[in-house]
């Protein structure tokens, strides 16, 4: 395999694939060993996934630190194992008693820096093993709250038990946890119903390659979409 390649690919990840599925597919297409992504997207989530190839992987930390913008749709009244609609529902609770005004007021309280506890099902590691593997084994592990920053929240819609918003946040922010925490503030439960990462730093969906195009490309075609990755 060639390691002389170096560059950035901006991908629009579809729902149903893991971030590592995308990395492995691009490895095979480009016949290169060093390929990495800059921020995991859950299988359910769609949107911007930055892929670094070859020597460009040395810049991964600088890309991981870029702010991120998400569109989200969430649901009140249920909690799941994973914090999203793909997990098994483990609890329900009434969600009446509040409306759009109360929701908007609660959302305002999340703008700024605060501590957030990472979800049990995440790619973070404990003793070398991802959290989600411990969770699947039924083992509770220490999950230390981490400081995250939500820079802005744009309220979009609230109808029945469904609400939508657009969130601009720092590295390490879990939208699933944010959704659960908002519901708790309102005295109910919540889970994430849909998620699109619309932007990472200066890269937005208008620049992203559709996954269908990527997966059907040959090596030469994919190389034409390389961008310079050097952020020094």
- Please say if 181 is a catalytic residue: no
DSSP state of 18: -
The DSSP element (H or E) to which 35 belongs, if any, is strand 35-37
Q: Cβ contacts of residue 70 below 8 Å, gap of 6+?
A: 47, 166, 167, 169, 175, 195, 196, 197, 198
Nearest C-alpha neighbor of 76 from the set 174, 189, 157: 189
Alpha helices per DSSP H over 83-225: 100-108, 131-136, 175-185, 211-216, 219-223
Helix (H, G, I), strand (E, B) or coil at 127: coil
**Active-site residue, selected from the candidate residues 12, 42, 84, 193:** 42
Cβ-contact 222, 9 below 8 angstroms = yes
Nearest C-alpha neighbor of 228 from the set 194, 202, 189: 202
Active site residues per annotation = 42
């Amino acid at each position: 395999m060639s390691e002389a390649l170096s560059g950035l690919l901006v991908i629009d990840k579809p729902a149903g694939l893991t971030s590592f599925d995308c990395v492995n597919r691009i490895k095979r297409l480009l016949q290169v060993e060093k390929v990495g992504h800059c921020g995991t997207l859950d299988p359910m989530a769609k949107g911007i996934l930055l892929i670094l190839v070859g020597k460009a992987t040395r810049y991964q930390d600088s890309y991981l630190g870029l702010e991120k913008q998400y569109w989200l749709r969430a649901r009140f009244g249920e909690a799941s194992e994973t914090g999203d609609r793909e997990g098994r529902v483990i609890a329900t609770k009434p969600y009446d008693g509040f409306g759009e005004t109360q929701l908007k007021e609660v959302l305002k309280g999340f703008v700024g820096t605060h501590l957030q506890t990472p979800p049990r099902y995440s790619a973070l590691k404990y003793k070398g093993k991802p959290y989600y593997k411990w969770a699947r084994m039924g083992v509770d592990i220490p999950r230390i709250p981490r400081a995250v920053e939500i820079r802005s929240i744009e309220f979009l819609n609230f109808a029945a038990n469904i609400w939508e918003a657009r969130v601009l946040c720092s590295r390490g922010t879990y939208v699933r946890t944010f959704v659960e925490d908002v519901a708790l503030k309102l005295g109910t439960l919540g889970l994430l119903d849909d998620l699109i990462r619309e932007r990472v730093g200066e890269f937005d969906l208008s620049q992203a390659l559709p996954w269908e195009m990527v997966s059907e490309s040959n090596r030469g075609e994919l190389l034409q979409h390389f961008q310079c990755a050097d952020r020094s």
